[in-house]
Structure 1
Amino acid sequence: MDVVLRYFDMWNTGDTSIAEQVLHPAWVDHAHPEVAGPDGVRQSVMAIRAARPGLRFTVHSVLGDEDLVAVVGSVGEAPGDGSPGKLVWLVRLADGLMAEMWTYQQSGPR
């Protein structure tokens, strides 16, 4: 599960040198299918951080096993955004790397 935490850290720090260490070569983000593989993510991280340098991902909890991990977290502008978007990411791992991810947004209080 550390690989998943490192993925979100990559987004927060902009250190894309770790992309191949956390992402499977056949990486697919189903919320953004146009961003494929570690190179696609590297380019996306750089572009989004340039446009929104205050964007931060916060991981609240990680649950799962060797192949499937659920991450509960939030995303918002730092610091003190006041209304970060709450999300759940489901991640499939292959060979110890992130292979696929699905993103679900909380629809409101339950």
Structure 2
Amino acid sequence: MDNGSAHSMVMRYFDMWNTGDTAIADQILHSQWVDHAHPDVTGPAGVKQAVQTIRAERPDLRFTIHDVLGDNDLIAVVGSVGRPQQTTDSPGRLIWLIRLVDDLMTEMWTYQQNQPSH
């Protein structure tokens, strides 16, 4: 898989969370998928359920992606999550590291980049 395809796949993952359309999960997530920030959510079926649950509880929650970097099997994503109208008290930027195996997203780690205090 080339970098463009890997980057596109990762963007489709975050679009799934923003739109609630989980049809893509089986095409982009490995059967052994694990999000280390949420280890109880495994595999495409677990992600589909989590998307539906979170969107029902917080329908205005949005992921915004600022940069996607990396090579064929390890992608770094810099972004933020919040509500579109949220302008203050932002939790800061998040960095997701995503490992791909067999051209599918297999593991994800989440790190918070705190905003400097003013």
Common fold, TM-score beyond 0.5? Answer: yes
**What is the 5 A alignment of 1:1-80?**
1-78=7-84, 80=85
SS at match of 1:60: strand
Which residue of the partner structure matches residue 95 of structure 1? 102
| Residue ranges of structure 1 left out of the alignment (5+ in a row) | none
Q: Aligned AA for 2:64?
A: T
Q: Aligned AA for 2:104?
A: L
Give the Cα separation in 1 of the matches to 2:15 and 2:116. Answer: 27
Give how far 1:33 is off. 0.2
Which residue of the partner structure matches residue 82 of structure 1? 87
Over residues 39-76 of structure 1, what are the superposed CA-to-partner deviations in whole Å (9 max), with x where a residue is unaligned? 00000000000000000000000000000000000000
Q: Aligned AA for 1:82?
A: T
Residue identity over aligned pairs, in percent, reads: 64
Give the Cα separation in 2 of the matches to 1:45 and 1:4. Answer: 15
Give how far 1:9 is off. 0.3
Number of residue equivalences: 109
- In our comparison, the structure showing a higher alpha carbon Rg is 2
4+ runs deviating over 6 angstroms: none
> Which of residues 100, 105, 112 in structure 2 aligns to 1:105?
112
Give how far 1:107 is off. 2.5
Give how far 1:100 is off. 0.2
| Residue ranges of structure 2 left out of the alignment (5+ in a row) | 1-6
Give the Cα separation in 1 of the matches to 2:104 and 2:41. Answer: 16
SS at match of 2:38: coil
Q: Give the RMSD, CA atoms, in angstroms.
A: 1.2
SS at match of 1:53: coil
